[in-house]
């Protein structure tokens, strides 16, 4: 009988421990959902969500011509009283709204801008940012294409990779190859474990690859494979459009590419 009682006590303690672990796990999920769920509305069709003390994800619903009004993603990074912006809204006017919010609400001056590629949903606000004295860094291919198309030009170019400093924060730019466009890059923020993939990465609800007018389909699968191999520790993966997530976005993009190329 004593053995049976001891066994029952052991099982009760074990079950209580498991319940505790499960509760802690659910609390962690709820905490993460609470952080992601807190949206700050900047203006009509523009909102910002805090990811960490140094990173803010924004969505701007912009008119993209033949594609209609599209939710376009970007990232704000803050270190001390300085900020960096990865991708701008599609117009100078909407970019100004975002910059003013950064100044007023985050008490930071925007000093760095990095576009993912040359399309308007990435660097449509570059003219305004240049007027404001914000330094811009881009793939040299992006600068070359912008010059050909008589678009505003980023200030500094790189060919393979570049690390931009924001205080003591590293912002690591990398060109893995063609995909959504010939010049698309990714940006890795190691301190926050955030990978900004831009339009080469599709959200998990995407049923297709989106705008393929400038895509390099032959390179895209190997480009995604390079990104996955280089950044296996990414906690957040941010696509150019749609809901952010983790590695599942990269895997889903791979599957969409496989489906497309098999047709």
Q: Which residues are catalytic?
A: 117, 119, 121, 180, 199, 202, 211, 241
Longest dimension (CA), the chain: 88
Among 151, 149, 55, 162, which residue's Cα sits nearest to residue 114?
Answer: 162
User: What does R_g of the chain's alpha carbons equal in angstroms?
Assistant: 21
Separation CA 37–CA 142 (nearest Å): 34
Helix axes 247-262, 220-230, angle to 10 degrees: 160
Spatial neighbors of 22 by CB under 8 A, at least 6 apart, are: none
Separation CA 259–CA 263 (nearest Å): 7
Separation CA 66–CA 89 (nearest Å): 17
């Amino acid at each position: 009988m004593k053995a049976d009682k001891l066994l029952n006590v052991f099982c009760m303690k074990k079950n209580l421990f498991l319940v505790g672990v499960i509760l802690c796990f659910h609390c962690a999920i709820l905490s993460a959902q609470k952080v992601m769920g807190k949206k700050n509305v900047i203006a009509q069709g523009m909102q910002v969500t805090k990811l960490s003390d140094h990173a803010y994800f924004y969505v701007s619903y912009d008119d993209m011509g033949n594609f209609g009004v599209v939710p376009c993603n970007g990232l704000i990074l803050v270190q001390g009283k300085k900020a960096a912006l990865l991708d701008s809204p599609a117009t100078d006017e909407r970019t100004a709204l975002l910059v003013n919010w950064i100044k007023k609400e985050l008490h930071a001056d925007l000093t760095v801008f990095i576009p993912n590629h040359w399309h308007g949903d990435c660097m449509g606000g570059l003219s305004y940012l240049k007027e404001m004295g914000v330094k811009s860094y881009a793939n040299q291919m992006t600068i070359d294409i912008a010059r050909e198309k008589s678009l505003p030009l980023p200030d500094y170019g790189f060919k393979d990779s570049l690390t931009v400093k924001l205080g003591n924060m590293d912002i690591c730019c990398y060109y893995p190859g063609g995909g959504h466009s010939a010049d698309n890059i990714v940006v890795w923020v190691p301190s926050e474990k955030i990978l900004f993939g831009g339009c080469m990465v599709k959200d998990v609800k995407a049923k297709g690859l989106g705008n393929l007018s400038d895509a390099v389909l032959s390179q895209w699968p190997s480009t995604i494979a390079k990104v996955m191999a280089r950044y296996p520790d990414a906690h957040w993966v941010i696509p150019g459009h749609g809901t952010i997530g983790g590695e599942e976005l990269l895997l889903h993009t791979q599957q969409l590419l496989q489906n497309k190329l098999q047709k």
